[in-house]
Structure 1
Amino acid sequence: MTANTDPAGHAALAICESLLLALNDRDILPETEIMGILRDAASAHEQATDGDDALHREVVRLIERIIDGGNSVRRKDA
């Protein structure tokens, strides 16, 4: 995986993760919906056809790591 030095991308990821966590913590969106959002995002990159395959594969791997528990979206009591 290449090193990502895009501060805007890092900021966007941090903001989105925080929003998803807040929506879950406040029982606005259940974990299943949040996981669905993440899977939809990964699927969009898997199906992208703009020619930047390496970038899309890297994005899919990152989202899959989040889904697999690379962050705290999943409740510890679930």
Structure 2
Amino acid sequence: MDDKYKVQGAAALSICESLLLCLGDMGLMTDKDIIGILEDAANGHVTGEPGVEVDDHHQAVHDLIKAIIKGGNSVRHPA
């Protein structure tokens, strides 16, 4: 993948995470809502159908979003 697109992808991810944090901080979305959005985004990259192979790119996107959910990057967790 071209470096230009890697930078664009990182910028888009950062912006989206900031928006999700802001929506949560403002009380417009609950943590459950935010995690639901992330789950939907992750699941959009894998079919889950038996016998259907997921290509490496979609699997990597799915895995990254799942790591974001697990790491709590888009939901503030009290210390």
Both proteins in one fold, TM over 0.5 = yes
| 1:36-73 alpha-carbon deviations (Å, 9 max, x no partner) | 000000110012xxx87100110011001111025151
Q: Is the 8 A contact 2:20 2:74 kept in 1?
A: no
CA separation in 1, counterparts of 2:55 and 2:16? 23
- AA aligned to 2:57 is L
TM-score, normalised to structure 2's length?
0.79
TM-score, normalised to structure 1's length?
0.80
CA separation in 2, counterparts of 1:32 and 1:74? 12
- AA aligned to 2:14 is A
Identity of aligned residues (%): 47
CA separation in 2, counterparts of 1:67 and 1:59? 13
- AA aligned to 1:68 is K
Partner of 1:63: 65
Q: RMSD of the alignment, in Å?
A: 2.3
The answer on 1:29 being equivalent to 2:10 is no
Aligned length: 72
- AA aligned to 2:36 is G
The alignment partner of 1:46 has SS state of coil
CA separation in 2, counterparts of 1:17 and 1:4? 23
1:74, CA displacement in angstroms?
A: 3.8
Partner of 1:15: 15
1:75, CA displacement in angstroms?
A: 2.6
